[in-house]
Chain A
Amino acid sequence: MNLIREIWQSIVRRDPLSTDKGKSELVFLNVWLHIHPAKVKKENMKFRHTFYLGFITFFLFLILLTTGIALMVYYRPYPPQAYQDMKDLQFVVFMGPFLRNMHRWAAHGMVICVFLHMCRVFYTGSYKKPRQFNWVIGVLLLLLTLGLSFTGYLLPWDQLAYWAITVGTNIGSYAPLIGGQVRELLLGGHSVGEGALIRFYVLHVAVLPALMILLTIVHFWRVRKDGGLSRPIWKLKPKTEALVTIGAPAAAAPLQAAAASKEKTYGLMEVVTGKPIFETVTPEEEEDSVFSYPYAFVREAVVLMATVTTVMTMSLLLNAPLEELANPAKTPNPAKAPWYFLGLQELVSHSALLGGVVAPALMVLALLAIPYLDRNPSRRLGDRKMILLLFSIFVFANLALIVVGTFFRGPGWALIPPWVHVVGGAE
Chain B
Amino acid sequence: MERKLQITFFALSLLALALILAAGWQANTPSWKTYQRDYLQLEAQGEPNEVTKAAVLATPPEIHQVLLPGLQRVDRCTTCHLGVEPFRYHAGLGPHVPSRFGCTICHGGQGLATDKEGAHGNVAFWPNPLLSKDYIRASCGRCHKEGEVPGVPELTEGRRLFETQGCRGCHKLNGVGGSIGPDLTGEGANRRSPEWLEKHFLAPNAVSAGSAMPNFHFIKEQARDLTYYMLSLTNEEMGSYFSSVRLIPSAEYGRQLFVEKNCIACHAIGGVGAKTAPDLLGVIKRHSTEWLDEQLVNPELVYPGSAMPEYDLETNARKALVAYLASATPEDAQLILSKKTRTMTPEDVAIEAGKQDFARFGCVGCHGTELQGGVANPNAQGGEVPSLLHVSDDYTKDEVIGIIRNGRVPPLDNAAGPAPPLYMPSWKHVLSDEDINRIADYLWSKQQKQKDAW
- The chain A residues found within 8 Å of chain B, CB to CB, are 80, 84, 87-88, 90-92, 94-98, 158-159, 294-295, 298-299, 301-302, 305-306, 308-309, 312-313, 315-316, 322-324, 327, 329-330, 426-427
**Would A87 and B112 count as touching, CB distance under 8 A?**
yes
**Would B186 and A302 count as touching, CB distance under 8 A?**
no
CB neighbours (8 Å) of A427 from chain B are 182, 200, 207-208, 211
16 example contacts (A-B, Cβ-Cβ < 8 A) are as follows A95-B23, A96-B27, A97-B27, A159-B125, A298-B5, A298-B6, A302-B9, A305-B13, A305-B16, A309-B16, A312-B16, A313-B19, A316-B23, A322-B125, A323-B125, A427-B207
**Would B5 and A306 count as touching, CB distance under 8 A?**
no
Name the contact of A95 in the complex, choosing from B2, B27, B72 (C-beta under 8 A): B27
**Would A95 and B16 count as touching, CB distance under 8 A?**
no
CB neighbours (8 Å) of A330 from chain B are 186
**CB-based nearest B residue for A308:** B16
Q: Chain A: interface secondary structure?
A: helix
By the criterion of a CB under 8 Å from any partner CB, how many residues of chain B are at the interface? 39
B226-248 vs A: 1/0 string, CB under 8 Å? 00000000000000000000000
**Would B76 and A312 count as touching, CB distance under 8 A?**
no
B20 close to A (CB within 8 Å): yes
B201-216 vs A: 1/0 string, CB under 8 Å? 0000001100100000
What 5 pairs between A and B have smallest CB-CB spacing? Answer: A427-B208, A305-B12, A312-B19, A87-B112, A98-B23
Given contacts A91-B114, A159-B125, 14 further A-B pairs with CB under 8 A are A84-B74, A87-B112, A90-B118, A91-B112, A95-B24, A95-B27, A97-B27, A302-B9, A306-B12, A309-B12, A309-B15, A315-B23, A323-B124, A324-B125
**Would A302 and B5 count as touching, CB distance under 8 A?**
yes
CB neighbours (8 Å) of B19 from chain A are 309, 312-313, 316
**Would B23 and A312 count as touching, CB distance under 8 A?**
yes
Complex CA gap A95/B28 in Å reads: 8
**Would B115 and A91 count as touching, CB distance under 8 A?**
yes
B311 close to A (CB within 8 Å): no
B258 close to A (CB within 8 Å): no
Complex CA gap A90/B211 in Å reads: 39
**Would B12 and A94 count as touching, CB distance under 8 A?**
no
Complex CA gap A322/B110 in Å reads: 14
**CB-based nearest A residue for B181:** A426
Name the contact of B186 in the complex, choosing from A84, A95, A299, A329 (C-beta under 8 A): A329
Complex CA gap A386/B68 in Å reads: 66
**Would B16 and A94 count as touching, CB distance under 8 A?**
no
**Would B22 and A316 count as touching, CB distance under 8 A?**
yes
B329 close to A (CB within 8 Å): no
In this complex, the member of B74, B112, B115, B183 whose beta carbon has the largest number of chain A beta carbons within 10 angstroms is B112
CB neighbours (8 Å) of B20 from chain A are 312
* With contact pairs A84-B112, A330-B186 given, residues A301 and B27 touching in the complex (Cβ less than 8 Å): no
CB neighbours (8 Å) of A309 from chain B are 12, 15-16, 19
A23 to chain B, nearest CB (A): 14
A16 to chain B, nearest CB (A): 19
B113 close to A (CB within 8 Å): yes
Name the contact of B114 in the complex, choosing from A92, A159, A305 (C-beta under 8 A): A92
**Would B2 and A302 count as touching, CB distance under 8 A?**
no
Complex CA gap A158/B127 in Å reads: 12
B86-125 vs A: 1/0 string, CB under 8 Å? 0000000000000000000000001011110010000011
Q: B125-148: which residues lie under 8 A (CB-CB) from chain A?
A: 125-127
**Would A91 and B125 count as touching, CB distance under 8 A?**
no
Q: B9-37: which residues lie under 8 A (CB-CB) from chain A?
A: 9, 12-13, 15-16, 19-20, 22-24, 26-28
**Would A87 and B27 count as touching, CB distance under 8 A?**
no
In this complex, the member of B12, B13, B76, B110 whose beta carbon has the largest number of chain A beta carbons within 10 angstroms is B12
* With contact pairs A305-B16, A308-B16, A427-B208 given, residues A91 and B2 touching in the complex (Cβ less than 8 Å): no
B298 close to A (CB within 8 Å): no
B301 close to A (CB within 8 Å): no
B289 close to A (CB within 8 Å): no
Complex CA gap A139/B185 in Å reads: 47
CB neighbours (8 Å) of A306 from chain B are 12
B431 close to A (CB within 8 Å): no
Complex CA gap A88/B12 in Å reads: 31
B345 to chain A, nearest CB (A): 45
CB neighbours (8 Å) of A90 from chain B are 113, 118
Name the contact of A329 in the complex, choosing from B2, B6, B15, B185 (C-beta under 8 A): B185
B74 to chain A, nearest CB (A): 7
**CB-based nearest A residue for B213:** A427
B63 close to A (CB within 8 Å): yes
CB neighbours (8 Å) of B211 from chain A are 427
**CB-based nearest B residue for A86:** B112
**Would B112 and A88 count as touching, CB distance under 8 A?**
yes
Complex CA gap A169/B319 in Å reads: 47
